[in-house]
């Protein structure tokens, strides 16, 4: 395989920009972008715009038209070679007469997994694999994890004060972060498949856990309840038409309470947090958001179940003995502290948003 040229690198950068436009609209499919290059000029571009719709290659080839014959197709993910919601992209590439295909990374989805490259090469199309691979895998991390582990990508989000409190001693937490930060959280809710809280957060805050305004996705609201009965009067199951509710319980959860809440459309599942993630993965959920509280976060971090953190830090001090974001067993030595990669900082009208991925979190895809 030939070494990539700067034209390939620049074209792949554009394809990755296009791919990101599909976030929230295409899952459980991957975000994919594609450009068609002829004589160093982009003559067609496209991305996977919605689940069940045409793939990026088809859109880019349609935009390029006759100019695609003999051109180079640059795509962020290996073209599919199987029939799913749409016909195989390999067939479209060959029908268009493309001479060369540049691919960021192969697709580990079992029905592809190198088959797209083999089919193209067998037809005489030159393939270059690995251009922009690190960037593509970062973008595709939630999809890759779902395919390779069967579990969704887990984002832990909290808001805290400068002294690391998520509420006062009395339990008051509304509001730590500002209005702009809360709007950002609603945007995040609007692109995930599930929003998860612990029973303590449900009791203390009585949240609805919807995105306002609505986003690209309509998340399932999930409560991890343990063995204690949940309150019957909560917005989560008394608000009509705002989406499904799933409660994960311990085996000893009171049957009478479950029967009552089931009449309000609540689905019950006996599962640990890890088993819950397995079930959400079976339901093809790609991204899930956990919004607390400290006990739930502690368990998830202790068990290595979190992939990414969004921490909103407000310029406020509470003092006292209010709760911190993460409970659990924690670590005894600083050298064992969890560390992050790809850390970013963003100022949001006085608040500071710090985002990062757990270094031990896998980056995978379907």
Quick check: 120 and 243 in contact, CB under 8 A? no
Q: Please report, for residues 202, 204, 247, 283, 328, the alpha-carbon distance to residue 265 in angstroms, rounded to integers and kept in the order given.
A: 17, 22, 11, 18, 32
Q: According to the annotation, is 80 in a ligand binding site?
A: yes
Residues of the chain with CATH 3.40.430.10: 151-358
Q: According to the annotation, is 127 in a ligand binding site?
A: no
| Percent of the chain with pLDDT strictly greater than 90 | 86
Q: According to the annotation, is 21 in a ligand binding site?
A: no
Handedness of CA 165, 312, 340, 32 (dihedral sign): positive
pLDDT in the model for residue 361 = 43
Per CATH, the number for 6-139 is 3.40.140.10
Residues of the chain with CATH 3.40.140.10: 6-139
User: For the sheet containing 100-103, what is the strand order?
Assistant: 41-47, 33-38, 72-75, 100-103, 126-129
The ranges of the chain with pLDDT < 70 are 1-6, 360-366
pLDDT in the model for residue 6 = 58
Quick check: 36 and 42 in contact, CB under 8 A? yes
Tell me the fold of 151-358.
Dihydrofolate Reductase, subunit A (3.40.430)
For residue 78, indicate whether it is catalytic: no
Q: According to the annotation, is 172 in a ligand binding site?
A: no
Q: Locate tokens 């937490």: which residue?
A: 173
Q: According to the annotation, is 55 in a ligand binding site?
A: yes
Looking at 27, 45, 57, 308, which residue is catalytic? 57
pLDDT in the model for residue 25 = 97
pLDDT in the model for residue 1 = 52
Give the pair of three-digit tokens for residue 236: 């989560």
- Per residue in 115-165, pLDDT (tens digit) is 999 999 999 999 999 999 999 999 999 999 999 999 999 999 999 999 999
Cα distance between residue 128 and residue 105, in whole Å:
10
């Amino acid at each position: 395989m030939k070494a990539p040229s700067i034209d390939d690198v620049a074209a792949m950068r554009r394809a990755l920009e296009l791919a990101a436009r599909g976030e929230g609209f295409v899952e459980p499919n991957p975000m994919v972008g594609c450009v068609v290059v002829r004589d160093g000029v982009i003559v067609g571009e496209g991305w996977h715009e919605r689940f069940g719709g045409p793939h990026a290659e088809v859109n880019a080839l349609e935009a390029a038209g006759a100019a695609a014959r003999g051109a180079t197709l640059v795509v962020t993910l290996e073209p599919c070679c199987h029939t799913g919601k749409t016909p195989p992209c390999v067939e479209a590439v060959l029908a268009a007469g493309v001479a060369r295909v540049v691919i960021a990374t192969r697709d580990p989805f079992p029905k592809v997994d190198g088959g797209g490259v083999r089919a193209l090469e067998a037809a005489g199309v030159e393939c270059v694999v690995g251009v922009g691979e690190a960037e593509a895998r970062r973008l595709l991390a939630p999809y890759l994890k779902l395919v390779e582990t069967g579990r969704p990508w887990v984002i832990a989000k909290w808001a805290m004060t400068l002294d690391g409190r998520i509420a006062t001693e009395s339990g008051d937490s509304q509001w730590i972060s500002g209005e702009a930060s809360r709007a950002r959280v609603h945007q995040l809710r609007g692109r995930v498949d599930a929003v998860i809280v612990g029973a303590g957060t449900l009791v203390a805050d009585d949240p609805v856990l919807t995105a306002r305004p609505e986003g690209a996705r309509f998340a399932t609201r999930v409560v991890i309840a343990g063995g204690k009965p949940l309150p019957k009067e909560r917005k989560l199951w008394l608000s009509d038409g705002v989406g499904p509710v799933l409660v994960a319980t311990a085996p000893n959860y009171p049957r009478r309470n479950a029967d009552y809440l089931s009449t309000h459309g609540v689905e019950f599942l006996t599962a640990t947090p890890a088993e819950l993630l397995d079930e959400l993965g079976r339901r093809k959920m790609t991204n899930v958001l956990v919004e607390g509280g400290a006990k739930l976060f502690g368990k998830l971090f202790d068990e290595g179940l979190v992939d990414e953190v969004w921490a909103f830090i407000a310029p406020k001090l509470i003092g006292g003995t209010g709760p911190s974001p993460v409970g659990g067993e924690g670590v005894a030595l600083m050298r064992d502290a969890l560390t992050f990669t790809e850390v970013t900082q963003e100022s949001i009208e006085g608040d500071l948003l710090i985002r990062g991925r757990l270094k031990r979190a896998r980056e995978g895809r379907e």
